[in-house]
Chain A
């Protein structure tokens, strides 16, 4: 499995929705930059790329509001596995 770096997470996010400044935006969900279907796409990409399963209780806006938050979530789940 690849290292879970912020740069890698941003690269994957740009593949889902390219027109967002992931390095600076910190309200991806609350600011409606991402809708539920973007989140589905992100979950699918992260699950496939890092071989993790994201439980429903972790799918809350605060875990998806920034690239850093998504990175933290993925790292935690990868460590738990």
Chain B
């Protein structure tokens, strides 16, 4: 296979009238999706050079998917930008991405017009370009290869600016191929998409559906505030597969969703993004005894996931391993001197090689060279240092053991506390800032020194950061507690 578009084409060829994707308001078939994506691709190919990113400023929807696959047909990587981004962060993403074109949809056209008013871009609703018939010769000329970038996902960056992880068609083909094979996906599956399209958990839903010809049902974001709507959605649509973030699963169990209705058609639950709390997994397993539960692990830079561990029926422990590598991935532990660690119980950094590795960070060769380095165990091979710590258990399964730095997972989002600190310290009147994360209560805490009032600093952060990164509690201090080396004493801050 050369590109993910072959999945769409073969699914449309096999069953043109089957539902490919469905949102709260509408459904489209594989034939419609193929037709619209090709038309959008042809339009984009006439306006943007292959390889130049296309930004999509919209919410997840059937229309959004037409735009994403349209960009792929034009040989361009797409990047879905959260419409809730504050203006400053949107500007930072645009500066890093340097898109050749911006698509939106009619629902967000006005918002997009306002958000991009001060830029060189004029967002175009995708609906306005998908009726123009495609130029076959043009599409053939820009057809992407395995090495072409498919998408760019922005994640938090410790220096204060987000970084765009660029992933190839080949990486997605290899990961999704193994993911759908190992967990028995077929065209009769009904996949319930939880994650927004700017979050790489959604890559599993979208491309698993395309690969096997299964329908992907997009759960509206607002249903994750109203459990009865969410449970009705899962039950009424006979959902069979949930590949969700752990935080979304905890929502269902905390909100007692299963006491209201149980989606007993679910056969597979694959969860990722954070460590699954055992009491929440227990509620899910009790409610869905027929389902397989799989813990999948991996940062965006390795294309969704690199390891998996299926929860055995007899499991009643507190520690869920992340398991063994997918067949296309090489996952190993290196100590501080880059020596391979393979004995059980010894903690070291999780490193990944193989065809799932991202191409790098968009328009940032320095960061790319730093993060994707030569494998010291096998020189000549690219390797990614995850910054995650892990160890092998007695059965030989890998167990995640936290971070080597100050990166956190909060509400399913990967956040560098350093990015929040850097942005806070850019605020005039703030001389020093330090962020902590209260893991138990899932709260981000910011401490700062400076003359700027707390309310002014919070307002400043709201202007610069997405809402999930704005600290839940901000505390002004006369001075930062320091340890004997002159560094901020985080342990002392945690006691405040």
Contacts and interface: CB of A to CB of B under 8 A. Distances in A.
Interface of A: 16-19, 29, 35-37, 39-41, 43-44, 53-57, 59-61
Interface stretch (B14-22, B254-262, B290-298, B343-351): B254-262
A13 to B, nearest CB: 12
Interface string B32-57: 00000000000000000000000000
Contacts of B442: 37, 41
A7 to B, nearest CB: 20
Closest 6 pairs between A and B when the two form their complex, measured CB to CB: A56-B260, A56-B227, A36-B224, A36-B225, A37-B411, A56-B256
Nearest to A43: B254
Interface in B178-236: 224-228, 231
Interface string B447-490: 00000000000100000000110001100000000000000000
Contact of A40 (B231, B255, B458): B255
B255 A59 contact: yes
B472 A35 contact: no
Nearest to A54: B256
Given A18-B472, A37-B442, A40-B251, A56 B257 contact: yes
Nearest to A16: B472
Given A37-B411, A55-B260, A44 B225 contact: no
28 contacts: A16-B472, A18-B473, A19-B458, A29-B225, A35-B411, A36-B224, A36-B225, A36-B251, A37-B247, A37-B442, A39-B225, A40-B250, A43-B255, A44-B254, A53-B256, A55-B256, A56-B228, A56-B255, A56-B259, A56-B260, A59-B226, A59-B227, A59-B228, A59-B255, A59-B256, A60-B228, A61-B225, A61-B226
Contacts of A53: 256
Contacts, number: 52
B118 interface: no
Nearest to B470: A19
Given A18-B473, A37-B247, A56 B231 contact: yes
Contacts of B467: 35
Contacts of B256: 53-56, 59
A59 B229 CA distance: 10
Contacts of A54: 255-256
Contacts of A39: 225
A6 to B, nearest CB: 22
A25 B30 CA distance: 46
Given A18-B473, A41-B441, A55 B251 contact: no
A41 to B, nearest CB: 7
A17 B228 contact: no
A55 to B, nearest CB: 6
Contacts of B255: 40, 43, 54, 56, 59
